[in-house]
Amino acid sequence: MTVESFELTIAVEPADIDRLGHVNNVVYLRWVQDAAVAHWVAAATPEQQAALIWVVVRHEIDYRQAAQLGDTVIARTWVGPTEGRSFSRHTEILRASDRRLLARARTLWFPLDAQTGRPARVGADVRERVSVPTEGGTPAR
């Protein structure tokens, strides 16, 4: 199975806009999480989804340009190399109309056993379904 990056299209809503008239920084972080969850649901088997839950242990986000009301954005995400048991997920928030980079995030996700809530080992079957070979931090094509 060849894994590619995953894209989630999102419309900017009035509730996303802050007092400065652009999308609030916290909304970008919500989009990062929404894209991660959607990718996991799209890529993992029902059995894998039932066996594992994921928690965030670290977020890093760089804001480049503001999204505005009326914009549609694309949250493009992929899972790169693991760091111990943590999975390094990368997300780019792009304006859909011109694919201009608005924000870039790196998030470390840690797997837990869905039944016990304890740290879980992730097998090669999961890695093959979600991890993308990378070159310089972006998915290899």
Per-residue pLDDT tens over the stretch 115-130: 999 999 888 888 887 8
Structural domain boundaries in the chain = 6-135
Q: What is the pLDDT of residue 124?
A: 82
The answer to whether the beta carbons of residues 40 and 49 sit under 8 Å apart is yes
pLDDT at 11 exceeding the cut of 90: yes
Round to whole Å and give the CA distance between 132 and 2: 8
* Separation of alpha carbons 87 and 110, rounded Å: 6
**pLDDT averaged over the chain?**
90
% of the chain with per-residue pLDDT over 90:
77
Query: What is the pLDDT, as a whole number, of residue 82?
Result: 76
Average pLDDT over residues 22-51: 96
Indicate if the alpha-carbon torsion angle 59, 63, 69, 70 is positive or negative.
negative
Q: Give the tens place of pLDDT for each residue, 100-110.
A: 999 999 999 99
- The CATH H-level superfamily of 6-135 is Hotdog Thioesterase (3.10.129.10)
Distance CA 109, CA 55 (A): 5
29 vs 27: CA distance, rounded Å: 5
- Dihedral sign for Cα atoms in the order 112, 117, 119, 120: negative
d(CA 68, CA 63): 14
When pLDDT is cut at 50, 70 and 90, the band that residue 134 belongs to is low
For residue 140, the one-letter residue type is A
Mean predicted confidence (pLDDT) in 86-112: 96
pTM over 0.85: yes
Q: Report the distance separating Cα 116 and Cα 128, nearest Å.
A: 24
